[in-house]
Amino acid sequence: MKAIEMSCLLLSGAAMTGALLLGTLSNNAHAATTAAKAATPQEAIEACKGKKEGDKVDLPVGNGKTAKAICRKAGNQLVAMRTASIGP
């Protein structure tokens, strides 16, 4: 096999590998985004109802406790994202 043919064969194999890798990464990113949306607690959504992005809210975390949070966009929806840990 000539050197030029061998180079073309190697380059086409590398291009196929790259295309498959990009496709896999894209699918993984989409799956992570979908999982994050599904895992958003209703309390985080409710805390930001009627608010705008960047507003500070108290996020209920159970047992009558709250955590400081900020309303942020998650996809096309505002959700409360914690800014500090819960105290003792």
Q: Each residue of 22-78: pLDDT tens digit? A: 454 455 555 544 444 455 789 999 999 999 999 999 998 888 899 999 999 999 999
pTM: 0.51
**Which pLDDT value is given to residue 21?**
38
Per-residue pLDDT tens over the stretch 8-32: 444 555 545 544 434 544 555 555 4
Indicate the SS3 state at residue 65.
strand
Q: How far is residue 71's CA from residue 49's CA, in Å, rounded to a whole number?
A: 9
Distance CA 51, CA 15 (A): 47
Backbone angles phi, psi at 26, to 5 degrees: -65, -45
